[in-house]
Structure 1
Amino acid sequence: MQRTRICTGAALAAGALAVTGLAYAPTALAVTPTSATITANCGSFGGGAATLTATQNGTAATLTVNSSAITVPIAIGANSITSTLTMVKAGGGTVTFTGTRNPAMSAGSPVTVGPLNGTVAAGNRLEAFGGSLKMVVLGITITCTATGPQSPGPFVF
């Protein structure tokens, strides 16, 4: 009989701990989609397809830009590109993602910048079309713009 009470007590304690853990667990927010493609025009620096990858943790969000169609003309060291990505909010306004994170890239390598940090609000719908990516490399500013809406659609935070 005592063994049954101990097992029952242990089961109840484990259940109570599990419920308490769920009650105090942080709510997970997720951006959808996590990846989108655009066609970018970077003026005399080229252009083509680029992929935007998004993550979210509460109101903090990051975006990374990769493009095999846009290449660097010279070797660039890690974390040497100052980038500002401006995304357009549905309903008006913009959200800016900034940073100096990039891998080291040799001449002719595909461009990768990010993750770039920004702040979002629940329900923000962000689109690259109408915004821009400005990269400052060795004092030269390169501005890229999307030539149409991103696919499959805006990021929803």
Structure 2
Amino acid sequence: MTNFNIVIHKPLGLIFHDDLKRDEKVLMTLNYEMFPDKKKLIIKKGDYFVVSTDYFSKLKKRRRLTQSEYPMIALPWIIDRIENGFLKKPSEGGFSNFERSTTAEFEEQTIGINAMIHCCAENVPGLNIWNGNRKDYIGGITPQQWDIPLYMLKDGLLDELKVIANKYA
């Protein structure tokens, strides 16, 4: 019998966009055209990059916060896998049509990237980046996740992530 001992790391704590702490720095704003009411920021908190979302929950009828937390040292790997795996054709050294996900370990946290056919909207291809050792702030289950449409990466987001990685990772 296999015994899986997955360590769930302590949450960093929700980041309030209008009340940043000393160790929290906004690195960039993410604009998702399909979610104009959501304010999404990439924030540096200690040795982590955090994708923080502030939005109005129609279900709860109030503003909510949620976030995904990744070790900053994972960012160069994430960028490399996106650029050289998912965005390149197999003939150029990219992933084959059968390779739809990849994972690696950083600071005892499993970080993964999955290809998606319907990312944020129907028929919008994209990627799901996840941390399997951190619980979602709203659902209370693993993993924490960040969905990114491919067009956003190609339209400049990947280059902006490279700048962040070069400065902080």
- In the superposition, the TM-score normalised over structure 1's length comes to 0.27
Please state which structure has a larger fraction of its residues in strand: 1
CA radius of gyration, larger in: 1
Relative to the length of structure 2, the TM-score reads 0.25
